[in-house]
């Protein structure tokens, strides 16, 4: 309105006002009116005021409408002209201000048909159909005859409240007055009324009798069929309309698209889309575009919906709501919630539907902070005030996210609560197993005079079911029965049966079930679920027979329980028969979950190939069927195949869910594929599962601890939003696996501090910790606690851990007592006992256990054979070892498990039978690095170093990479025979792997090898390269200097070693004294000899005394040497031979003869 500067000229403004109204510039007209209001108010005629009020109606501008009402009242036109009154009534009614409309109507000096119509229309359009019909009857009682407009408003009111009787009555009146013949819209309204009342046959009859069927009547019929769930008939009507030459308009297209969406007729929807594009409707009609978005979403084509949305020239709140709903329905909650910000940036204001959808999206992804932000925004915009729908949704979200306090606080803010809101709160408590809170809700509901409905009672029963609380469930059962729900509502009865069945009270469930007046398939399924869950498979199959005898056909859910029952019975013949029935009924095509169950069934029967066949024939291979197949492969230890399936899934565009990732991680661990674990972990992070799924996090912790990556596992553990008992167990077990018992113990204390209850695995870990750190008293206290809580009687894992703990304490009698007190023992428990005996070097008991367990019918496993073979090796019981060898062949353990073969090789080598060891090695299906290493080590230990070097070369040529133990064995062999060429090769391998920096034993052996081969300078360089030195390494270097007679370097090395804070040991002093002996340094040797005991607390051993005797002999002090020998409590012939050699050198015949006599005596 920039053309008006200051105050407009009166005459010009009046004329311009009419011009604006005439050309539809309604907003400008209202602005101009209020700018010139003081001047023009009294000069405007009735027609202009009516036009201004109609403008307010169209713009829903009630505030300006009220001001114009005041102006009209001041001019006196309201009292003089009925049209003004009608316009005002119409304005208030269309703006939803029915109280003001009613007050105005009552004050009018006179009412005519127009004012009555305005009031009735207002009530009808605002969804108050009952009030509209009340005024319709009141109008007639006042003597006014309804016209076509009145009938149309009344029919719409009937449709809005579903009053088919009143609608039929009006229809008869319209027929009597023959109004249908003269008005096409009245006929369309009749069709619309009948469809909204669900009387589609009657609507079709009216439609068929219409003298002229125009686009409005066709659209009403199409919409009616679609809204009543008959989308197919709606589309038939659409095609028939076109065949009669009636062209669809934008509203018809919207209705037809809705029909396509309702029956998922994507092909038809795409044809309509092309037609709409050709007509240009997508660019000029936003409701059509919104309907297209909605249709594609309903048909599951989210990408197409997004394409349509992106092509629309503009978006309104309905466009955004449709897209947001689509993403939410397709489980893209994160994306759905982000649309709120995007639409606001585009200047589109969200409505209550937007907020509700966004709340649900945030609830679905657990974005609680965002939910709270939205709640604050809704409250600020006063959308929550009194709106129980939004309040109910918010409460539902809070309870689903376990935010019970927030849910209760919000609930308490509502002065009145309807049954839906109560049920939202009750359902939340019930789903989380909070029985007391659920039952309290029921009581409070009654106190507020809100009668619990069957949904309320079903929620309460669900709480009892989830927590295994049949006592409270029985009380609810009694109340349901008292209120008559049990007989009148089959859902209530089914819930009662289900509660008893799930609680294992199958007789009670059957009793209630048998007294049902009416039983449906759901009733039978609830009972069958109870039978199968409690492994009463035969009872479940009897239900099927009885159900069919009563004329009821099994549903797809029934077949799920039948399949489960067959698996429990191990009846593959019956399972194949059921598979045939399912195929004949075509259920596989309609219900993908049945296919998944069959895949799982064949996998359980150990037939993953058959499972793959079933999977390949499925019409729809969804995430559930893929997971069933992958689980089958994992359970049958075909991990490579499982990972192949996961890769194929992703290639086919199927997004992995949390469950699929769990199987993927397990398969990766099974193949030792750490890189695959990390790849899956990255995907898990990108999809947000790491933030919301505890099971996935627990699996990741378990995987990383298995691979020894404890820091990575700890990082995930610390970042967990919620740590449950499984999380703690995984972390603690990981620490234990790598010998970090003290760290595991601290974690256990932290777990107790956080109030996490122990389960059987936690107790087993606790016992393992006590065993490792020798916490005897604490372990015994845990034993008492376990006994009191009954874990020992019902869980073999705990019993095994207890036996293992006592064996680690060296308390074998107590371990045996626990073992004997248990009602049953498995191989794991026998193994724990055998390991204990082996640790106490009671190998005979180990072999006795092996015999006893077989006599008791317990089959040995890999660990049993390994333990028994180690016992044979320790006893050199080669005959018994050969017997065990034969048993491993008969039981196929030798071919199944490389550990058994490797232990057998070790047994033969330790018993000195290298030929048998080598023969067995040659027969192994898999000659892994452990097998090669065991054989090489065996040859080295028996002095066959040349053969060991040959084996090392053969292993290398076979492409088997040596491990650190192999390299140690190879170095020892090279050292023994001076094989410097192989030694150099091994050195290169060590350098490539960086083992000098990480493995001190290898560094020490390498130094010793170079010294033995005479390469002292290289040995010194290797020594200098090693980052950390210990006494063993220093000894190796000093021994090398002794070998070449460099005594000065030995003393310098000794001083350097002391300078680094490393204390010498017995071997160090033997080396130093040998150096003194070689150099004839008697005084120096005497200083070192005395320092052993005085400075380092080392009691001189025979070898040290022998060195001193040798030195005394070398320097001619033969008598002193003899005296030193005589002072020893124990002496061997070496010392006397040393004296005898010295006597020969110095010509002391008498002492030499004396030495010879001692040697002869010792030899006897």
> Alpha-carbon distance 1124 to 1135, whole Å?
10
Residue recorded with tokens 């001076």: 978
Q: What is the mean pLDDT of residues 347-376?
A: 74
Query: Is residue 829 within 8 Å of 794, Cβ to Cβ?
Result: no
Could you report the per-residue pLDDT of 225-280, keeping only the tens digit for each? 888 888 899 999 999 998 888 899 999 999 999 999 988 888 898 999 999 988 88
Query: Is residue 803 within 8 Å of 833, Cβ to Cβ?
Result: yes
Say if 403 falls within a structural domain.
no
Q: How confident is the model at residue 9 (pLDDT cuts 50, 70, 90)?
A: very low
Q: Angle 470-482/454-467 helices, nearest 10 degrees?
A: 160
Say if 352 falls within a structural domain.
no
Locate all alpha helices (DSSP H) within 774-842, ordered by sequence. Answer: 776-789, 791-794, 796-808, 812-821, 827-839
How far from each other are the two terminal CA atoms of the chain, in whole angstroms? 132
Could you report the per-residue pLDDT of 1114-1130, keeping only the tens digit for each? 777 777 777 777 666 56
How many domains in the chain?
Answer: 1
- pLDDT value of residue 1160: 63
Query: What Å distances lie between residue 448 and 390, 408, 417, 444, 615, CA to CA?
Result: 21, 16, 9, 6, 54
Using only C-alpha atoms, what is the Rg of the chain?
Answer: 46
Could you report the per-residue pLDDT of 920-942, keeping only the tens digit for each? 999 988 889 999 999 999 999 99
> Alpha-carbon distance 269 to 901, whole Å?
66
Q: What is the CATH number of the domain that holds 223?
A: 1.25.40
Could you report the per-residue pLDDT of 1010-1067, keeping only the tens digit for each? 998 989 999 999 999 999 899 999 999 999 888 888 888 899 999 999 999 999 999 9
Could you report the per-residue pLDDT of 619-675, keeping only the tens digit for each? 778 888 888 899 888 888 888 998 999 899 888 888 888 888 899 899 888 888 888
Q: Which domain holds residue 248?
A: 213-311
Query: Is residue 594 within 8 Å of 602, Cβ to Cβ?
Result: no
Asked if the model's pLDDT at residue 767 lies above 90, the reply is yes
> Alpha-carbon distance 717 to 744, whole Å?
14
Q: What percent of the chain has pLDDT over 90?
A: 24
> Alpha-carbon distance 762 to 782, whole Å?
11
Say if 249 falls within a structural domain.
yes
Query: Is residue 421 within 8 Å of 441, Cβ to Cβ?
Result: no
Say if 272 falls within a structural domain.
yes
Q: How confident is the model at residue 383 (pLDDT cuts 50, 70, 90)?
A: low
Q: Which residues contact 845 (CB under 8 A, 6 or more apart)?
A: 834, 837
Q: How confident is the model at residue 868 (pLDDT cuts 50, 70, 90)?
A: very high
Could you report the per-residue pLDDT of 108-133, keeping only the tens digit for each? 777 888 888 888 888 888 778 888 88
Q: For 449, phi and psi rounded to 5 degrees?
A: 65, 25
- pLDDT value of residue 2: 36
Say if 219 falls within a structural domain.
yes
Query: What Å distances lie between residue 726 and 288, 400, 743, CA to CA?
Result: 52, 22, 17
Say if 229 falls within a structural domain.
yes
Q: How confident is the model at residue 160 (pLDDT cuts 50, 70, 90)?
A: confident
Q: 799, exposed or middle or buried, with CB in 10 Å at 0-12, 13-18, 19+?
A: buried
Query: Is residue 632 within 8 Å of 611, Cβ to Cβ?
Result: yes
- pLDDT value of residue 943: 92
Q: For 230, phi and psi rounded to 5 degrees?
A: -120, 60
CA atoms within 13 A of residue 318's CA, in its CB half-sphere:
11
Average pLDDT of the chain, as a whole number: 84
DSSP state of 319: H
Could you report the per-residue pLDDT of 931-978, keeping only the tens digit for each? 999 999 999 999 999 999 999 999 999 989 999 999 999 999 999 999
By C-alpha distance, which of 880, 936, 877 is closest to 905?
A: 936
Q: How confident is the model at residue 7 (pLDDT cuts 50, 70, 90)?
A: very low
- pLDDT value of residue 101: 82
Q: How confident is the model at residue 8 (pLDDT cuts 50, 70, 90)?
A: very low
- pLDDT value of residue 847: 94
Could you report the per-residue pLDDT of 737-750, keeping only the tens digit for each? 888 999 999 999 99
Q: What tokens were used for 452?
A: 């619990």
Could you report the per-residue pLDDT of 269-312, keeping only the tens digit for each? 899 999 998 888 888 888 999 899 999 988 888 889 889 888 88
CA atoms within 13 A of residue 958's CA, in its CB half-sphere:
16
Query: Is residue 601 within 8 Å of 624, Cβ to Cβ?
Result: no
Say if 1052 falls within a structural domain.
no
- pLDDT value of residue 977: 92
Q: Which residues contact 1130 (CB under 8 A, 6 or more apart)?
A: 1102
Long-range contacts formed by 178-182: CB under 8 A, 24+ apart = 179/148, 179/151, 180/210, 180/211, 181/211, 182/148
> What is the dihedral angle through the alpha carbons of 948, 954, 957, 959, rounded to the nearest 10 degrees?
-80
> Alpha-carbon distance 72 to 49, whole Å?
8
CA angle 383, 386, 389 (to 5 degrees): 75
Q: Which residues contact 1106 (CB under 8 A, 6 or more apart)?
A: 1134, 1135, 1138
Could you report the per-residue pLDDT of 174-212, keeping only the tens digit for each? 888 888 776 778 888 898 888 888 888 888 988 888 888
Residue recorded with tokens 């099927």: 544
Say if 298 falls within a structural domain.
yes
Region of residue 723 (left: phi > 0; alpha: psi -120 to 50; beta: else): beta
């Amino acid at each position: 309105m920039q053309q008006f500067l200051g105050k407009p000229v009166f005459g010009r403004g009046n004329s311009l006002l009419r011009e604006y109204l005439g050309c539809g510039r309604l907003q400008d007209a209202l602005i101009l009116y209020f700018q010139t209001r003081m001047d023009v108010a009294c000069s405007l005629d009735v027609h202009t005021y009516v036009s201004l009020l109609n403008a307010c109606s169209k713009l829903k501008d009630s505030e300006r409408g009220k001001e114009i009402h005041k102006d009209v009242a001041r001019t006196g036109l309201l009292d003089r002209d009925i049209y003004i009154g009608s316009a005002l009534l119409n304005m208030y009614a269309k703006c939803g201000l029915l109280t003001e409309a009613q007050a105005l109507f009552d004050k009018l000096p006179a009412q005519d048909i127009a004012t009555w119509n305005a009031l009735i229309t207002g009530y009808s359009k605002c969804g108050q159909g009952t009030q509209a019909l009340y005024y319709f009857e009141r109008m007639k009682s006042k003597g006014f005859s309804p016209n076509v407009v009145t009938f149309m408003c009344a029919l719409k009111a009937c449709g809005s409240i579903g009053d088919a009787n009143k609608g039929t009555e009006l229809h008869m009146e319209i027929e009597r007055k023959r109004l249908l013949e003269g008005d096409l819209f009245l006929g369309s309204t009749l069709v619309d009324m009948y469809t909204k009342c669900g009387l589609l046959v009657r609507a079709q009859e009216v439609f068929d009798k219409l003298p002229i069927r125009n686009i409005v009547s066709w659209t009403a019929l199409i919409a009616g069929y679609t809204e009543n769930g008959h989308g197919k008939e709606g589309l038939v009507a659409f095609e028939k309309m076109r065949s009669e030459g009636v062209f669809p308009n934008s509203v018809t297209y919207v209705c037809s698209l809705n029909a396509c969406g309702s029956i998922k007729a994507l092909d038809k929807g795409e044809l309509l889309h092309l037609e709409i594009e050709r007509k240009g409707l997508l660019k000029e009609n936003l409701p059509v575009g919104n309907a297209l978005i909605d249709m594609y979403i309903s048909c599951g084509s989210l990408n197409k919906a997004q394409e349509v949305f992106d092509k629309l020239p503009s978006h309104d709140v309905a466009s955004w709501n449709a897209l947001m709903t689509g993403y939410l329905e397709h489980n893209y909650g994160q994306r759905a919630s982000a649309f709120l910000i995007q639409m606001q940036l585009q200047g589109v204001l969200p409505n209550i539907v937007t907020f509700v959808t966004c709340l649900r999206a945030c609830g679905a992804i657990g974005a609680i902070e965002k939910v709270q932000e939205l709640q604050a925004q809704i409250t600020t915009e006063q959308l929550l005030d009194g709106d129980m729908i939004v309040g109910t949704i918010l409460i539902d979200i809070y309870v689903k996210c376990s935010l019970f306090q927030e849910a209760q606080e919000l609930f308490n803010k509502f002065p009145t609560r309807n049954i839906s809101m109560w049920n939202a709160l009750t359902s939340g408590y019930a789903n989380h197993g909070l029985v007391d809170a659920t039952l309290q809700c029921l009581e409070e509901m009654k106190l507020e005079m809100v009668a619990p409905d069957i949904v309320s009672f079903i929620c309460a029963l669900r709480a009892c079911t989830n927590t295994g609380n049949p006592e409270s469930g029985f009380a609810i059962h009694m109340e349901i029965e008292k209120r008559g729900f049990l007989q009148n509502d089959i859902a209530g009865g089914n819930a009662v049966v289900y509660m008893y069945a799930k609680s294992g009270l199958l007789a009670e469930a059957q009793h209630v079930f048998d007294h049902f007046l009416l039983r449906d398939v759901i009733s039978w399924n609830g009972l069958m679920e109870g039978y199968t869950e409690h492994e009463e498979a035969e009872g479940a199959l009897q239900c099927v027979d009885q159900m069919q005898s009563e004329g009821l056909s099994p549903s797809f859910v029934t077949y799920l329980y039948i399949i489960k029952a067959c698996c429990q019975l191990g009846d593959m013949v019956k399972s194949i028969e059921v598979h045939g029935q399912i195929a004949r009924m075509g259920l596989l095509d309609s219900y993908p979950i049945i296919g998944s169950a069959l895949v799982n069934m064949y996998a359980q029967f150990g037939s993953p190939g058959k499972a793959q066949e079933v999977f390949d024939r499925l019409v729809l291979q969804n995430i559930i069927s893929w997971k069933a197949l992958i689980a089958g492969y994992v359970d049958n230890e075909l991990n490579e195949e499982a990972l192949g399936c996961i890769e194929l899934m992703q290639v086919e565009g199927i997004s992995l869910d949390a469950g699929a990732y769990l199987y993927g991680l397990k398969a990766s661990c099974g193949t030792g594929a750490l890189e695959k674990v990390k790849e899956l972990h990255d995907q898990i992070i990108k999809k947000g599962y790491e933030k919301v799924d505890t099971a996935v996090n627990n699996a990741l912790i378990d995987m990383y601890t298995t691979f020894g990556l404890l820091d990575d596992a700890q990082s995930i553990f610390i970042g967990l939003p919620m740590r449950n008992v499984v999380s703690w167990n995984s972390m603690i077990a990981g620490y234990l696996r790598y010998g970090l018992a003290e760290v595991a113990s601290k974690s256990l204390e932290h777990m107790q501090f956080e109030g996490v209850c122990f389960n059987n695995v936690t107790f087993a870990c606790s016992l393992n910790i006590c065993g490792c750190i020798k916490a005897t008293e604490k372990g015994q206290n845990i034993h008492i606690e376990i006994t009191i809580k009954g874990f020992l009687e019902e869980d073999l894992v705990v019993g095994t851990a207890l036996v293992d703990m006592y064996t680690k304490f060296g308390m074998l009698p107590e371990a045996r007592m626990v073992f004997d007190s248990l009602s049953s023992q498995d191989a794991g428990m026998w193994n724990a006992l055998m390991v204990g005996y082996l640790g106490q070097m009671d190998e005979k008991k180990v072999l006795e256990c092996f015999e006893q367990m077989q006599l008791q019918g317990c089959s040995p496993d890999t660990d049993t054979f390994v333990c028994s073979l180690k016992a044979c090796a320790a006893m050199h019981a080669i005959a018994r070892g050969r017997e065990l060898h034969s048993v491993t062949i008969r039981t196929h353990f030798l071919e199944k498990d490389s550990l058994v073969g490797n232990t057998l090789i070790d047994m033969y080598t330790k018993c000195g039978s290298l030929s048998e060891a080598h023969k067995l090695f040659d027969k192994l299906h898999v000659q892994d690095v452990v097998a090669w290493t065991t054989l090489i080590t065996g040859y080295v230990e028996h002095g066959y170093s040349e053969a060991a070097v040959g084996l090392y070369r053969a292993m290398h040529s076979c492409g088997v990479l040596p491990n650190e133990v192999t390299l140690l064995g190879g170095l020892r062999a090279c050292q023994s025979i001076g094989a410097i060429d192989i030694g150099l090769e091994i050195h290169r391998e060590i350098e490539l792997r960086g083992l000098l920096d990480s493995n001190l034993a290898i560094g020490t052996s390498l130094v010793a090898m170079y010294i033995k081969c005479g390469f002292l300078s290289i040995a010194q360089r290797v020594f200098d390269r090693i980052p950390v030195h210990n006494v063993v390494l220093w000894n190796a270097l000093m021994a090398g200097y002794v070998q070449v007679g460099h005594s000065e370097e030995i003393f310098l090395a000794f001083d350097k070693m002391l300078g680094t804070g490393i204390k010498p040991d017995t071997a160090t002093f033997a080396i130093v004294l040998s150096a003194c002996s070689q150099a004839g340094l008697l005084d120096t040797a005497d200083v070192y000899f005395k320092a052993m005991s005085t400075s380092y607390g080392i009691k001189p051993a025979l070898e040290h005394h022998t060195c001193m005797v040798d030195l005394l002999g070398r320097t001619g002090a033969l008598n002193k040497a003899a005296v030193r020998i005589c002072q020893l409590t124990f002496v061997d012939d070496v010392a006397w031979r040393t004296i005898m050699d010295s006597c020969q050198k110095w010509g002391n015949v008498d002492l030499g003869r004396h030495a010879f006599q001692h040697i002869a005596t010792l030899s006897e």
